[in-house]
Amino acid sequence: QRPLATVVIGGLITSTLLTLFILPILYRWTENRRNLRIQKPILSILVIAFGMIGWKTNAQEGNTSEVISKEQAVEIALKNYPKLKNAQRCISQQKAMQGAAWDLGKTTVITSGEEISEAGGTYTTYGIQQQGIDLLGIPAKKRFYQDQVKLTEKQLEVSELEVATEVKKAWSMAQIAKKRLELFQRLDSLYSQLERAVNLRYETEAISRLEMLAAKNRIQEIEIQKKQTRNDYLQFRQKLQVWLGSDFEVPSQTEISEELLGQNFPELANDHPNLLVSKERLEVASSRIAKERSRFLPDLNLQYGKQQINGNDRFFSFQAGLSIPLFSGEAHAQVKTARIEEEIAKENMHFQQLQLKSSYLAAIQNYEKWKSSWSFYQDEVLPLLTEQRKGSLLAFNEGAIGYTELIQNLDNALQSELRALDALKNYQLAIADIEFFLNKK
């Protein structure tokens, strides 16, 4: 039985080696010879494809957005924003309307005959008639169209100031969103250490499973908040892109206008663009009254012709006259309407002055509030937060504090820094409002 068992066992070992090693090697060698010519082109194609993918990846990574300051963002928006381009076109449109002040009426070419008989008659061989020549109304209409040009120019200044203010705010919102994202990115390493510490203490049964799960849930919440903050940042960049017409990056460094620090704000200037627009609207309403009243002035009519009388064509004729609108109900209605518009423009101008001054005072108070708030966080709170986080984690690792106290300390530090960013955001928005009232683009 022993020799038979030896033979059987040896056969099993030999067949196993043959199946596992010899046959696969022979099959691989045969297939390699058959597909050798096919594999070389395929290998070349794969190398080229991966090379192109790598080249595209490098190109995309190198395509980074340009970082611009707040002043650069305002400059780009004032140059490219479509609303401002349309406002400039409105100025050109009003300038083109100045030619409407010159109304020389309509030209009529005539021919006629009078006292026609077999013996002859009086014929006007040709004649030219000019009717409705409004010479006396030219000064009033010219002033009206000039005031319209001035109004559109002042409206352009207001639009530029409003666009500059909105761009500053959009830039500040994008920067604050970026700072929030960077805050959560910095917390990644800290909460990674916390997760390792929690796992270690759970493995050593220093904390319960419930405490371990609660800690992991809090870590997951921080990760979710980071993703939400990243989405917020992309959205604010998109809003800034609408103003600039292209994608730009904002810096992380805080930019505060040094000109406003410690400044005693002056009274609202009388030449603020919003006030000038109200005044120009009143001027337009007044000049429109004069324009409509000029419709009561007479129009000049002229006529010239060459005549033939009884076969003799050496005669000429002319005629001059005035057209006076004695019973023009439309002209009276237009004058009355223009006077009402003037009264409306006066009320709007006074209301605009009061509203602008009130808004200016409110903007100053808002600026002072957020300036002091940001100064407090910048000088008193932010310098201690990093030390507070590190100290809390160290105390937790050493067992000096528990999980609940650690999470509370970390959350308090996070909320303090988020409140600091809110204060900075509102401070920058308040600066943009103040600069609007100071007519600073």
Same domain? For 34 and 169 the reply is no
**Alpha-carbon gap, residue 165 to 101, rounded angstroms:** 38
Same domain? For 223 and 371 the reply is yes
Q: What is the mean pLDDT of each run of 10 residues along the chain (441 residues)?
A: 45 58 61 50 38 38 71 93 92 90 85 71 82 86 94 95 96 95 86 77 76 80 90 94 90 73 77 94 94 87 84 81 80 90 94 94 94 93 87 81 82 92 95 93 86
**Alpha-carbon gap, residue 364 to 358, rounded angstroms:** 10
Same domain? For 262 and 214 the reply is yes
Phi, psi dihedral angles at 318 (to 5 degrees):
-145, 160
**Alpha-carbon gap, residue 359 to 434, rounded angstroms:** 10
pLDDT for the residue 38: 41
pLDDT for the residue 52: 39
The closest alpha carbon to 243, from 89, 74, 90, 85, belongs to 74
Q: How many domains does the chain have?
A: 2
Same domain? For 27 and 176 the reply is no
> Which amino acid, residue 43?
L
pLDDT for the residue 408: 87
pLDDT for the residue 56: 39
Same domain? For 56 and 90 the reply is no
Same domain? For 20 and 68 the reply is no
Kind plus residue range of the DSSP H or E element containing 4: helix 2-17
Classify residue 400 by its DSSP letter.
S
Domain-ending residue, one of 61, 78, 108: 61
Domain-ending residue, one of 61, 89, 108: 61
Copy the structure tokens of residue 290: 């004069």
pLDDT for the residue 19: 61
pLDDT for the residue 357: 94
pTM here is 0.75
Phi, psi dihedral angles at 345 (to 5 degrees):
-65, -35
Helix (H, G, I), strand (E, B) or coil at 265: coil
pLDDT for the residue 5: 44
Q: Which residues have CB under 8 Å from 226's CB, separation 6+?
A: 181, 184, 185, 187, 188
Residue 372 CA, chain-centre distance (Å), reads 29
Same domain? For 122 and 56 the reply is no
Kind plus residue range of the DSSP H or E element containing 111: strand 106-117
Same domain? For 306 and 346 the reply is yes
| CATH number for the domain harbouring residue 318 | 1.20.1600.10
Same domain? For 324 and 187 the reply is yes
Domain-ending residue, one of 61, 87, 106: 61
Residue-range definition of the domain harbouring residue 108: 64-437
Same domain? For 118 and 252 the reply is yes
Same domain? For 229 and 340 the reply is yes
Work out whether strand 312-323 and strand 299-309 pair parallel, antiparallel, or are unpaired: antiparallel
Sheet holding 120-133, edge to edge: 106-117, 120-133, 299-309, 312-323
Same domain? For 28 and 173 the reply is no
| Residue 310 backbone zone (phi > 0: left; psi -120 to 50: alpha; other: beta) | left
**Alpha-carbon gap, residue 241 to 248, rounded angstroms:** 7
